Amino acid sequence: MIVDYSKQIGKKMIIKSNETMIIEVDTILYITCDCGVVDFYTVDGNKYFEINAIKRLEKELFELGFYRINRNIIVNGKYITKISINKQENFIQIADKKFIISQRQIKNVKKWLQN
């Protein structure tokens, strides 16, 4: 599957927590999940959260260029600045943050990146 990041432009995501927020999908750098609390980190440095299942978000965002690299993290491929997949380390970097690629996902991440 070839990723067309332009599909992100104009797409909005509704995040419901203490208040309902609407954010542009193309501003999301990465998403983390811990105990059902999903945090959305954006290019402007903001962080939004909601109670949700990361699996649902994974399915919803995959065709827009987002990929789950481990149990707790989904990255926006548009913002990847560095990738290292070798015997010493397996990570994806977005800005100054490094995210470990799980052993289970290495093969899938390689396949995803080739497209």
Total domain count, the chain: 1
Q: Which residues lie across from 94 on neighbouring strands? A: 80, 97
Mean pLDDT of 9-19: 85
pLDDT of 115 > 80? The answer is no
Whether the model clears a pTM of 0.75, i.e. scores above it, the answer is yes
Q: What is the pLDDT of residue 111?
A: 82
State the residue range of the domain holding 87: 5-114
Q: What is the pLDDT of residue 33?
A: 96
CA count, 13 A, side-chain hemisphere, 82: 11
Check which CATH number belongs to the domain holding 13 and give it: 2.40.50.1020
Tell me the per-residue pLDDT of 16-58, one tens digit each, with 9 for 90 and over: 888 898 999 999 999 999 998 999 999 999 999 999 889 999 9
45 φ/ψ angles, rounded to the nearest 5 degrees = 85, 0
Q: What is the pLDDT of residue 39?
A: 95
